[in-house]
Structure 1
Amino acid sequence: MTTHRKPADLRPTPETVSHPLPGTARELFDALPRLPGLRTEVIDGRLIVSPVGTPEHARVAMRLYGALLPLIEERGWDGFSGNVDVCIDGPRDPVEPDFVLAPADCPRWGERELLSSGLLMVAEVVSPGSAVDDRDRKPGLYAAGLVPVMLLVDPVASPATVTVFSEPKGGEYRTVTRVDMGDLLRLPAPLDVTLDTSALAGTTGSG
């Protein structure tokens, strides 16, 4: 008999998890209870549970939200600074970007997770504990999920940088543009806006 797994918005509690134990990272993610104060993602088949970012880390994400707020309001989009799960189309892996830009009618996987192919942009803020995943793994993951634009804010690099990835195809972004933090950076379609990255200047701690 085939057992149909519940979507992520109906994750069972530990008391209701059926046996045998989940066999994949996605199934384990679905079986977990809510974990306040922790970020839970699946990256390259690994279930990763990590603390939420430091206040400095969150400040950068909020500054990005503030910088894009006029565009969000003008176009009727939704902007989320953390705490929103994204489901990568295809493998259905869940991730939690530091910032998500989406149309108001973005399709979902279940009720909780936004589908990656319906997003406008995601952004990650690099911290020492997330550097390898953010710099090396997340661009390919988001490209495979057909997120049209990824922004990588790297305040722990020397010098600090901001990189925009666009034109996803074949699991990678074909166009990559990097500037020093403080310079102007053009964010391509569907945003078509120039970001003054000096608005993001700041430092971040571990997390």
Structure 2
Amino acid sequence: MVLASRSSPCRLTPETDTARLPATARELFDALPPLPGLRTEVIDGRLIVSPVGTPEHARIAMLINDALFSLRVQRGWHGFVGNVDVCIDGPRTPVEPDFVLAPPDCPRWGDRELLSSGLLMVAEVISPGSVEDDRVKKPPMYAAGGVPVMLLVDPIAVPPTVTVLSDAKEGEYQTITRVAMGSTVHIPDPIGFDLDTAVFSEH
């Protein structure tokens, strides 16, 4: 992806303009204007700009929100479906989970990003274009960032699965519970909820 200024062209010189160019993926992320309809993240040192998911992908993320609605109301928690940036505490890398569960007083990095160490849970819905990032790259990022629980909904696995990752230590989740989609899986503390994953396979 090539970013170009909308102003008149200018000549870059090593002595002047180069010093103002973003030096890291994080700095480039911060320099980007709002990109409606696109997801922008930094994963494994790469700035990734991708389209939002399919309607089926968005539907599953919304179903996670719906399943936790009563619990959220009871405990005063906030749920965000694919529309909030999370800053991984430590390296300060930005990601955009498909679903985020957070307390109302979750600390922030700047105005727009929730700090990962203040979250209760994140969820990712795997799509064909996100297999490597969601299955391999993001779990250790969330664990290292202090996210207590990660939910991974994988409708493209054969058979489809739902995985709960918890007990983060030294940048890895120590407890991994995977069930076939359609089964009930327990989401441990701080959530403490039995999730009926059959809702993800209903039409």
Once superposed, which parts of structure 1, at least 4 consecutive aligned residues long, lie more than 2 Å away?
17-20
1:90 counterpart = 2:90? yes
| 1:97-116 matched pairs, under 5 angstroms | 97-116=97-116
Match of 2:190 in 1: 190
Q: Distance in 2 between matches of 1:128 and 1:202?
A: 20
Cα deviation for residue 20 of structure 1 reads: 2.4
SS of 1:166's equivalent in the other structure is strand
Which structure has the larger Rg over C-alpha atoms?
2
Which residues of structure 2 form unaligned runs of 5+? 8-16
| AA of the residue aligned to 1:197 | T
TM-score w.r.t. length of structure 2: 0.90
Gaps of 5+ in 1: 1-12
Q: Greater RCO between the two (CA within 8 Å, min separation 6)?
A: 1
User: How much does 1:14 deviate?
Assistant: 7.3
C-alpha offsets along residues 153-198 of structure 1, whole Å, 9 cap, x if unaligned? 0000010000000011111000000000010000000001100011
Q: Report the equivalent of 1:167.
A: 167
Identity %: 69
Counterpart residue type for residue 177 of structure 1: T
> How far apart are the structure 1 equivalents of 2:125 and 2:202?
11
1:30 aligns with 2:30: yes
Question: Kindly tell me: are residues 202 and 136 of structure 1, through their superposed partners in 2, closer, same or farther at Cα, counting changes over 3 Å?
Answer: farther
Distance across 2 between alignment mates of 1:19 and 1:30: 16
- Secondary structure of the residue aligned to 2:29 is helix
Contact 1:155 1:202 in 2 (8 A): no
CA deviations 1:105-162 (Å, max 9, x no partner) are 1000011100000000000000000011000111011001010000000000010000
